[in-house]
Structure 1
């Protein structure tokens, strides 16, 4: 297996092997970023529903979240990952996302 054809295992676990370390690290970093993105999105929805934001703030927040989503899609494509690859298995705790 070479770095070019490395594919994370479909088990949902992060697999770091010597030849695919870059891809495994990218998977881990993007998983953490996706988790944080989802938390920020949920908090933003609560703030919007709570009426704590102006229309301008809501617009800026929406654009920022859309841009982050686009960037995540670009990074997943660069590292040949999909949404399932970012949903790592935490053992007895279940899946992360």
Structure 2
């Protein structure tokens, strides 16, 4: 039985799981599910840091040099996230997990 409480047919075990916005926790896919969860948390933190950085820039509390360093750091982090998503065969949709009645995370 899958996470949506629907029985699986034997033929569905050989196929890739459909993109449902839910983390796959089956024993064979545990590694992929863990990677999805970790990258989701990292992406959430990245977005929070980015929003805080924008607030600091808009608030005028940073020098031009600090703004430049912050921009470069955020771009490097974005590139690294893209690399990790490619390594684990994930896309942005996969990181936006479904929290049930709360809606999607990202």
Task: Verify same fold: TM over 0.5.
Answer: yes
| Larger CA Rg, structure 1 vs 2 | 2
Paired residue secondary structure (2:24): coil
The aligned residue for residue 64 of structure 1 is 73
2:50 to 24, 32, 41: 41
Offset, 1:9: 3.6
Alignment deviations for residues 24-49 of structure 1 (CA, whole Å, 9 cap, x no partner):
10000000000000000000000000
Q: Distance in 1 between matches of 2:68 and 2:81?
A: 20
CA root-mean-square deviation: 1.5
Offset, 1:63: 0.5
1:50 to 42, 59, 62: 59
Residues 8 and 85 of structure 1 are in contact (CA less than 8 Å); yes or no, is this contact kept in structure 2? Answer: no
For structure 2, the residue ranges without an aligned partner over 5 or more in a row are 1-12
In the superposition, the TM-score normalised over structure 1's length comes to 0.91
Q: Distance in 1 between matches of 2:80 and 2:64?
A: 24
Q: Distance in 2 between matches of 1:38 and 1:92?
A: 22
Count of matched residue pairs:
94
List structure 1 runs of 4+ shifted beyond 6 angstroms: none
Q: Does 1:90 align with 2:72?
A: no
